[in-house]
């Protein structure tokens, strides 16, 4: 058919020339249409040469006749494809079958065609061979490794190669498998990323014609990817009590730290559609995630240190391999901290005191409440109370995280007695809802020593201080004598030997050691005063005196003395006799001042100690009275039904009796103090108090009351306690009056002496004023100069005697301070200058020195008057107005004291 329809017509076309006869074609057309031979005849008329004599008219007539014949003919109808369909179908059928066979058996068809087209070539017959490949075609997971193993049967191979074909990238890679003879071929392909095809090629060892003929089948490796997390988003919601805002972790960060009770929201987005997701914790807990397609989420609460990973399952049932293990670290919500900052130490306290407790607390997220926890430690019981009592702190200052709680602890309301104690600590709780954190302070103790115990300790301390001060005073006087002797020797020698310098240095060393000892005494005295003040065992007036004594201790070693020592040491290094002698004299004078100030301080200390001992007796009596009152109050309360309480009260009653006996001995000892001899009124009251304490009736009353308490006779116990309270009040009154009389008598004596001294100063001032006027108006050649000089000398002697009285007075009172001594010293200096100037007949200079002496005298009088005023104010101002009136009269014609 192909030959008939295509080849034959095509060959005819190629053979047709321009002058070929077309009559056969005209005849065939005539056969198909009307006219038959008419078309052939017309063709011949047209192609015939003009020389043949053919008429043109005849040609046109023939053409017109044939035109009329074919005018209505439809040539397209005769040429429609349907007439040729059978032949076309045959052609396309043949082509389709051929193409189908080529697709199914491409190598065979192509190879056969080539062999048909090349019949002259010789083709070897391929030998029989076989590759058994494991695993063949297979599906693997992305990232896995693939082990390909093949066994071979056939001609001996020289080499073998594995061909990897990547159709997506149009890339072929070969891997050398072997060299030499082998029946087994093995290769491992690591970390597979994409699908590929593979086959094995063998190269024959002996027959080169078999090159490219020994191949295995083509296998395919399909790579499947496991689901993976593309995005991980975590939001943290801290517990409500922390008042912290929620926050988000950075994307794809799965490790986090959180407080217990934190809620966590976890969202993921996968790289492929999932069928499900699961959070698996290291603790064993599993939480399914909800969602669809690629997005899933879940919520969970943090309550421990843990780990977790997320398992993804895709629609093929594949799960993610080796998911990342994330860590959850539990943030330690630190327990709250509490510290007792006031008083913040173990201490002793009187029974009637109120102690302010201040506890400072802190928590990183918030405080809920705080408590004061305490228990009693009883010396009178066989065992301490093991039960702790808790009381809540009420008010506080600060904010939710940092607070200061305050509690005023009134010991009057507690069942404690002498020698009892309290252990206590502060306890705080934070605002965690579940399992709140707690903190506690260190445990402190409060002891309630009896006053006689405190005062016994103070007495021992004072005795030790006095002994040390006496030693210092004795050594200071010895040093003073040594310095005086050295001063005389230095004045007699022009050159100072090395031995003398050594003696001077030893004197300096002794002075410095004395100052060090004084510092130790000051420290001991300060500790003693603090202990008394802490236990409220010292009056304000006595405390003020001890404070002034401390100031006096600081004034003993003056800056001038320290500077004199430096100058003396410097002069010894320079080896300048004149300068050394002057520096030594300055040191000697300041050392004498040191000695005088030391003696004065010691005398004032002994006087303060005497007043303190008197005050101790009064306080001890008052304490016994208050303790008896406390027993009476407890007996009158409903709590007395407790047998334990009655036994305790009986024990406390016995202790009061014992302390009263000790107090009686202390009073008798105090009356025999040498310094008490001058206080006759106080002695009488002390004797009266001692008689009351030793009264047999009082001792019997104590014993009866104790027996009533033990036998639980409530009314008798109350009556006996009230009577004891009355007797103790009388004893306290007698001792208080003795104290008042002693202080008043002491003040009266000092007042008299201060007034007398002030009168002398004013009198000396009056005399100095008259002498200054006389000197100013007297000529250097006048005979009156001798009288003026003699009067100035006599005034000088009277002034020095007055200074001695002031020094003695300063040993008895704190009101005579250093400023009085300074102004008196300046007065003495100017008086001595005026005497020298009078002897030189320098009247003008002498008058000026006398004027300066007068000014310093008046200044001394003013300071003495101020001191006296302070003394009188300490007596509530009694007699003040009259005294000031007298002073104005005594001032007379002097005018203002400062002029």
What pLDDT was estimated at residue 329? 93
What pLDDT was estimated at residue 898? 38
Q: Using DSSP, state whether 136 is helix, strand or coil.
A: coil
Same domain, 43 and 161: no
Same domain, 430 and 532: no
The mean pLDDT value for 445-451 works out to 86
Give the whole-angstrom CA distance, residue 199 versus residue 161.
8
Same domain, 74 and 200: no
pLDDT higher than 60, residue 18: no
The mean pLDDT value for 196-215 works out to 82
585's tokens: 């004299």
- Under DSSP, the state recorded for 6 is I
What are the angstrom distances between the C-alpha of 437 and each of 335, 398, 407, 433?
A: 5, 20, 22, 10
pLDDT higher than 70, residue 423: yes
Cβ neighbourhood burial of 807 (10 Å; 0-12, 13-18, 19+):
middle
Q: Which range among 50-59, 522-531, 697-706, 756-765 shows the weakest confidence by mean pLDDT?
A: 50-59
CATH number where 305 lies:
2.60.40.2450
What pLDDT was estimated at residue 68? 67
Residue 428 maps to a domain: yes
User: What is the pLDDT of the chain when averaged over all its residues?
Assistant: 83
Q: Which range among 485-494, 671-680, 746-755 shows the weakest confidence by mean pLDDT?
A: 485-494
Same domain, 157 and 12: no
What pLDDT was estimated at residue 93? 75
Torsion sign (Cα): 708, 714, 715, 719:
positive
What pLDDT was estimated at residue 490? 79
Give the whole-angstrom CA distance, residue 886 versus residue 880.
10
Residue that terminates a domain, selected from 44, 62, 79: 79
Q: What are phi and psi of 126, to 5 degrees?
A: -65, 140
pLDDT higher than 90, residue 276: yes
Which of the two residues, 879 and 557, has the higher pLDDT score?
Answer: 557
What are the angstrom distances between the C-alpha of 684 and each of 612, 622, 735, 748?
A: 19, 19, 10, 18
Give the whole-angstrom CA distance, residue 560 versus residue 523.
23
The mean pLDDT value for 613-618 works out to 91
Residue 722 maps to a domain: no
Each residue's pLDDT tens digit, 167-198: 777 778 878 876 545 567 888 888 888 889 99
pLDDT higher than 50, residue 383: no
Decide if 256 contacts 236 (C-beta within 8 A). yes
Residue that terminates a domain, selected from 208, 224, 240: 224
Residue 360 maps to a domain: yes
Q: Which range among 87-101, 247-261, 306-320, 720-734 shows the weakest confidence by mean pLDDT?
A: 87-101
869's tokens: 């005023």
pLDDT bucket at 796, cuts 50 / 70 / 90 = very high
Give the whole-angstrom CA distance, residue 853 versus residue 765.
9
Q: Which residue has the tokens 């010292």?
A: 538
The mean pLDDT value for 319-328 works out to 92
Give the whole-angstrom CA distance, residue 342 versus residue 305.
39
Same domain, 167 and 259: no
Give the whole-angstrom CA distance, residue 380 versus residue 631.
16
CB atoms within 10 A of CB 544: 14
Q: What is the dihedral of CA 487, 491, 493, 496, to 10 degrees?
A: 50
pLDDT bucket at 407, cuts 50 / 70 / 90 = very high
- Nearest CA to 348 among 610, 103, 531, 94? 531
pLDDT bucket at 300, cuts 50 / 70 / 90 = very high
Bridge partners of 270? Answer: 229
- Nearest CA to 136 among 200, 183, 184, 194? 200
Domain count, the chain: 6
Same domain, 747 and 886: yes
The mean pLDDT value for 288-311 works out to 94
Residue 171 maps to a domain: yes
Decide if 779 contacts 567 (C-beta within 8 A). no
The mean pLDDT value for 116-145 works out to 78
- Nearest CA to 344 among 410, 441, 448, 449? 441
CATH number where 366 lies:
2.60.40.10
Same domain, 420 and 539: no
Decide if 665 contacts 690 (C-beta within 8 A). no
Count CA atoms within 13 Å of residue 592 on its CB side. Answer: 10
What pLDDT was estimated at residue 292? 92
pLDDT bucket at 49, cuts 50 / 70 / 90 = low
Give the domain extent around 861.
743-894
Count CA atoms within 13 Å of residue 343 on its CB side. Answer: 16
Q: What are phi and psi of 726, to 5 degrees?
A: -65, -45
Bridge partners of 329? Answer: 257
Residue 85 maps to a domain: no
What pLDDT was estimated at residue 31? 67
Q: Using DSSP, state whether 347 is helix, strand or coil.
A: strand
What percent of the chain has a predicted confidence (pLDDT) above 70? Answer: 84
What pLDDT was estimated at residue 346? 92
CB atoms within 10 A of CB 120: 4
pLDDT higher than 70, residue 54: no
Residue that terminates a domain, selected from 449, 465, 488: 449
Same domain, 599 and 469: yes
- Nearest CA to 199 among 180, 221, 178, 184? 221
Decide if 466 contacts 521 (C-beta within 8 A). no
Q: Using DSSP, state whether 102 is helix, strand or coil.
A: helix
Same domain, 428 and 471: no
Give the whole-angstrom CA distance, residue 310 versus residue 313.
10
Residue 49 maps to a domain: yes
Rg (alpha carbons) of the chain, rounded to whole number: 66
- Nearest CA to 179 among 198, 161, 162, 206? 161
Give the whole-angstrom CA distance, residue 74 versus residue 354.
140
The mean pLDDT value for 377-391 works out to 71
Q: Using DSSP, state whether 376 is helix, strand or coil.
A: strand
163's tokens: 């061909």
* pTM reported for the whole predicted model: 0.53
Torsion sign (Cα): 55, 58, 62, 63:
positive
27's tokens: 């005849």
CA 384 to chain CA centroid, Å, is 38
Each residue's pLDDT tens digit, 672-726: 988 898 898 899 999 999 999 999 999 999 999 888 888 888 888 889 999 999 9
pLDDT higher than 50, residue 881: no
Residue 652 maps to a domain: no
SS3 labels along 595-635: HHHHHHHHHHHHHHHHHHHHHHHHHHHHHHHHHHHHHHHHH
Same domain, 326 and 396: no
Same domain, 747 and 826: yes
Decide if 816 contacts 809 (C-beta within 8 A). yes
CATH number where 772 lies:
1.20.120
Decide if 796 contacts 734 (C-beta within 8 A). no
Cβ neighbourhood burial of 732 (10 Å; 0-12, 13-18, 19+):
buried
The mean pLDDT value for 6-11 works out to 62
Residue 219 maps to a domain: yes
Same domain, 547 and 563: yes
ω into 135 cis (within 30 of 0) = yes
What pLDDT was estimated at residue 386? 67
Q: Alpha helix locations (H) across 414-538?
A: 451-492, 498-534
């Amino acid at each position: 058919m192909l030959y008939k329809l295509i080849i034959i017509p095509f060959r005819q076309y190629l053979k047709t020339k321009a002058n070929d006869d077309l009559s056969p074609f005209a005849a065939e057309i005539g056969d198909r249409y009307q006219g038959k031979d008419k078309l052939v005849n017309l063709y011949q008329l047209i192609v015939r040469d003009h020389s043949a004599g053919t008429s043109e008219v005849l040609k046109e007539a023939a053409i017109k006749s044939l035109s009329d014949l074919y005018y209505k003919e439809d040539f397209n109808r005769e040429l429609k494809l349907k007439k040729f369909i059978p032949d076309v179908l045959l052609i396309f059928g043949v082509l389709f079958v051929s193409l189908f066979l080529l697709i199914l058996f491409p190598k065979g068809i192509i190879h056969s065609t080539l062999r048909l087209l090349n019949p002259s070539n010789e083709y070897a017959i391929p030998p029989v061979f076989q590759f058994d490949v494991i695993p063949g075609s297979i599906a693997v997971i992305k990232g896995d490794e693939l082990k390909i193993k093949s066994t071979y049967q056939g001609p001996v191979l020289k080499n073998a190669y594995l061909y990897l074909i990547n159709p997506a990238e149009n890339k072929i890679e070969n891997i050398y498998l072997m060299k030499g003879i082998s029946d087994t071929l093995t290769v491992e392909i690591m970390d597979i990323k994409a699908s590929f095809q593979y086959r094995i090629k063998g190269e024959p060892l002996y027959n080169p014609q078999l090159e490219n003929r020994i191949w295995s089948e083509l296998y395919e490796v399909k790579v499947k990817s496991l689901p993976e997390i593309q995005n991980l988003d975590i939001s943290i919601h801290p517990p409500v009590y922390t008042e912290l805002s929620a926050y988000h972790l950075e994307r794809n960060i799965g490790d986090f730290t959180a407080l217990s009770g934190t809620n966590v929201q976890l969202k993921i987005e996968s790289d492929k559609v999932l069928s499900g997701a699961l959070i698996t914790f290291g603790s064993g807990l599993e939480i399914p995630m909800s969602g669809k397609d690629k997005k899933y989420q879940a919520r969970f609460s943090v309550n421990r240190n843990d780990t977790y990973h997320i398992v993804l399952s895709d629609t093929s049932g594949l799960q993610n391999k080796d998911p990342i293990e994330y860590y959850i670290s539990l943030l330690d919500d630190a327990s709250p901290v509490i510290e007792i900052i006031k008083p913040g130490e173990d201490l002793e306290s009187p029974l009637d005191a109120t102690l302010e407790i201040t506890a400072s607390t802190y928590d990183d997220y918030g405080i809920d409440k705080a408590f004061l926890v305490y228990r009693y430690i009883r010396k009178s019981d066989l065992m301490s109370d093991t039960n702790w009592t808790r009381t809540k702190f009420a008010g506080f200052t600060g904010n939710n995280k940092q607070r200061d709680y305050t509690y005023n602890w009134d010991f009057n309301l507690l069942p404690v007695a002498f020698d009892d104690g309290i252990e206590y600590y502060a306890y705080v709780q934070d605002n965690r809802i579940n399992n709140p954190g707690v903190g506690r302070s260190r445990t402190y103790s409060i002891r309630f020593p009896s006053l006689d115990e405190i005062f016994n300790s103070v007495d021992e301390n004072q005795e030790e201080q006095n002994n040390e001060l006496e030693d210092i005073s004795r050594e200071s006087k010895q040093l003073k004598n040594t310095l005086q002797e050295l001063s005389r020797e230095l004045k007699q020698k022009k050159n100072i030997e090395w031995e003398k310098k050594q003696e001077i240095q030893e004197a300096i060393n002794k002075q410095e050691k004395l100052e060090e000892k004084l510092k130790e005494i000051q420290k001991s005295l300060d500790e003693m005063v603090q202990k008394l003040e802490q236990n409220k065992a010292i009056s304000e007036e006595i405390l003020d005196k001890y404070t002034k004594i401390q100031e006096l201790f600081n004034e003993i070693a003056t800056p001038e003395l320290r500077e004199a020592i430096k100058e003396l040491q410097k002069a010894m290094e320079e080896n300048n006799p004149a300068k050394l002698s002057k520096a030594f004299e300055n040191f000697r004078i300041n050392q004498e001042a040191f000695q005088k100030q030391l003696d004065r301080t010691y005398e004032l200390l002994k006087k303060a100690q005497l007043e303190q001992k008197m005050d101790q007796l009064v306080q001890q009596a008052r304490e016994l009275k208050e303790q008896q009152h406390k027993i009476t109050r407890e007996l009158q309360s409903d709590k007395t039904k407790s047998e334990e309480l009655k036994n305790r009260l009986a024990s406390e009653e016995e202790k009061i009796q014992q302390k009263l006996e000790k107090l009686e001995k202390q009073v008798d000892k105090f009356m025999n103090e040498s310094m008490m001899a001058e206080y006759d009124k106080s002695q009488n009251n002390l004797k009266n108090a001692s008689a009351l304490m030793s009264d047999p009736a009082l001792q019997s009353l104590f014993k009866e009351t104790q027996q009533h308490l033990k036998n639980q006779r409530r009314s008798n116990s109350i009556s006996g306690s009230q009577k004891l309270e009355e007797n103790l009040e009388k004893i306290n009154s007698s001792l208080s009056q003795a104290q008042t009389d002693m202080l008043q008598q002491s003040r009266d004596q000092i007042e008299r002496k201060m007034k007398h001294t002030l009168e002398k100063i004013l009198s000396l001032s009056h005399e100095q004023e008259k002498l200054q006027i006389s000197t100013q108006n007297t000529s250097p050649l006048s005979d009156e100069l001798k009288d003026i000089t003699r009067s100035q000398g006599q005034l000088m002697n009277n002034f020095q005697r007055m200074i001695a009285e002031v020094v003695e007075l300063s040993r008895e009172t704190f009101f005579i301070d250093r400023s009085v001594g300074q102004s008196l010293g300046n007065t003495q200096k100017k008086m001595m200058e005026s005497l020298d100037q009078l002897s030189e007949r320098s009247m003008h200079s002498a008058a000026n020195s006398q004027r300066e002496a007068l000014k310093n005298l008046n200044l001394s009088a003013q300071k003495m008057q101020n001191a006296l005023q302070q003394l009188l104010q300490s007596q509530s101002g009694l007699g003040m107005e009259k005294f000031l009136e007298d002073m104005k009269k005594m001032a007379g014609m002097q005018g203002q004291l400062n002029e």
